[in-house]
């Protein structure tokens, strides 16, 4: 099949610039006569391409039922919250070290996190939550915290003594 090549320029951890070549198999539909597309709703298709997607599927928004992820019946709205995690969360290993446990997100509408931010155990996020750590600063969301319609910025460290 004559498929278009997609060129993605990337930079590896060591700073080496590379070019990734790929094809979109969905583009092959043009190679078949009378082919038709099917619109699959997001509820049946949960791609995990980013750490933001990973946070959603690891959260209590979804449960595994007979091999399928299904939206929790405890969520009031059937829509998925909008989650945007910054570059400190990009790599899976970094992502995992930033959460003592995945926050309760059943009542979350929107989450934006940027900078050096960590989450303690049993954190609950509701409504719209924006957390922005200044460059060189760190924000630790303490265990048991409940953030509802909050903006947290600057730095916040709570240390045991």
Which residues are known catalytic residues?
A: 49
- Burial grade of 61 (CB within 10 A; 0-12, 13-18, 19 or more): buried
Residue 141: name the closest of 154, 161, 151, 156 by CA: 156
Q: Helices (DSSP H) in the chain: which residue ranges?
A: 51-58, 92-97
Helix (H) / strand (E) element for 74: namely: none
Q: Assess contact for 89 and 113: CB atoms under 8 A.
A: yes
Q: Kindly report the backbone phi and psi dihedral angles of residue 134, in degrees, each rounded to the nearest multiple of 5, phi listed first.
A: -65, 155
Helix (H) / strand (E) element for 104: namely: strand 104-114
SS3 content of the chain, % helix, strand, coil (to 5): 15, 40, 45
């Amino acid at each position: 099949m004559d498929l278009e090549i997609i060129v993605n320029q990337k930079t590896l951890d060591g700073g080496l610039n590379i070019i990734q070549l790929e094809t979109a198999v969905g583009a092959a539909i043009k190679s078949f006569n009378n082919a038709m597309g099917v619109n699959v709703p997001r509820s049946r298709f949960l791609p995990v391409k980013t750490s933001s997607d990973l946070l959603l599927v690891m959260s209590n928004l979804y449960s595994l039922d007979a091999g399928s992820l299904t939206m929790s019946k405890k969520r009031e709205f059937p829509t998925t919250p909008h989650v945007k995690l910054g570059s400190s969360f990009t790599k899976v290993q970094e992502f995992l070290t930033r959460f003592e446990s995945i926050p309760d997100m059943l009542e979350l509408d929107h989450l934006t996190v940027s900078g050096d931010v960590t989450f303690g155990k049993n954190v609950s996020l509701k409504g719209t939550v924006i957390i922005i750590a200044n460059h060189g600063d760190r924000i630790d969301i303490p265990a048991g915290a409940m953030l509802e319609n909050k903006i947290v910025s600057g730095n916040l460290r709570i240390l045991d003594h």
